[in-house]
C-alpha cells in the first residue's frame, strides 16, 4: 500500500510538536537533545503513517489571549468546585456521560475542543465519534436536564471560541450566520 507523499511544509507542524514533546519527556531542551529529538521525529514521520495536520492558515492572537485567560479562570473555578464536591458531597455526587455534537468536522477543531474540555477539572472526554463530530463527556455534578444542557452549551461556546481563533474562514462564516438570527450567545 503506497501513500501519497506529504510535503515537508505540511509535515512541519507535526515535526515541531514531536520535538517539543521529546524535550518535555526528557525534561531537557538543550540543543543536542532537541537535535536528536528532531532526528527521531523525522524517522517516526517517515516510518509510520501519520495523517497530515491540516491547519486553516489563520490564527487570531487577539482572540487567543482572552481565551487563554477564560480557560485559566475555568480551570481555577472548576478545581475549587471539584474540591468542594469531594469534601462536602463525597460519594453522593452524581455524574453522567453527555453527548455533545460539535459544529466543526475538522479533526483539529474536534481534538482542540476535546483537549480543552478534558483539561478543565470535572469533565473528561471518554469517546469521540469522528463521523458525527460528537464528543462524549463524563461530567460531574449532573442532576437534571438543565445540567446536561449547561455542559453542552459550555462545550459549544469553547468550540466557537476555538473556531474564531484558528478555524477556517468557512467555519467562522457558518458561526457568524448561526448567531445572527436571534443573537443568542452573542458573547462569543
Question: Per-domain residue ranges for the chain?
Answer: 8-47, 61-179
Residues 6 or more apart in contact with residue 109 via CB below 8 angstroms: 102, 159, 162, 163, 167, 171
Q: Where are the beta strands (DSSP E) in 29-160?
A: 95-101, 123-129, 134-140
Q: Tell if the pTM clears 0.85, that is, is over it.
A: no
- Please give the helix or strand (H or E) that residue 112 lies within, else none: helix 107-119
Task: Give the CA angle between residues 167, 170, 175 to the nearest 5°.
Answer: 75
Residues 6 or more apart in contact with residue 40 via CB below 8 angstroms: 18, 22
Per-residue pLDDT of the chain (188 residues; tens, 9 = 90+): 455 666 777 778 778 888 988 998 899 999 999 999 999 998 988 888 766 666 677 889 999 999 999 999 999 999 999 999 999 998 899 999 999 999 999 888 999 999 999 999 999 999 999 999 999 999 999 999 999 999 999 999 999 999 999 998 999 999 999 876 554 544 44
Amino acid at each position: 500500500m503506497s501513500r501519497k507523499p506529504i510535503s515537508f511544509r505540511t509535515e512541519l507542524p507535526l515535526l515541531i510538536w514531536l520535538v517539543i514533546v521529546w524535550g518535555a519527556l526528557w525534561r531537557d531542551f538543550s540543543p543536542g537533545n532537541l537535535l536528536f529529538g528532531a532526528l527521531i521525529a523525522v524517522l517516526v514521520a517517515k516510518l509510520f503513517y501519520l495523517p497530515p495536520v491540516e491547519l486553516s492558515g489563520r490564527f487570531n492572537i487577539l482572540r487567543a489571549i482572552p481565551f487563554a485567560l477564560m480557560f485559566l479562570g475555568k480551570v481555577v473555578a472548576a478545581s475549587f468546585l471539584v474540591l468542594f464536591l469531594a469534601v462536602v458531597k463525597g460519594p453522593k455526587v452524581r455524574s453522567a456521560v453527555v453527548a455533545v455534537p460539535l459544529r466543526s468536522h475538522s479533526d483539529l477543531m474536534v481534538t482542540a475542543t476535546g483537549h480543552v474540555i478534558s483539561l478543565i477539572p470535572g469533565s473528561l472526554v471518554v469517546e469521540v465519534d469522528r463521523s458525527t463530530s460528537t464528543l462524549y463527556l463524563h461530567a460531574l455534578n449532573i442532576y437534571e436536564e438543565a445540567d446536561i444542557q449547561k455542559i453542552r452549551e459550555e462545550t459549544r461556546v469553547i468550540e466557537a471560541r476555538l473556531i474564531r481563533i484558528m478555524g477556517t474562514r468557512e467555519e467562522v462564516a457558518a458561526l457568524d450566520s448561526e448567531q445572527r438570527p436571534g443573537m443568542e450567545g452573542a458573547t462569543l
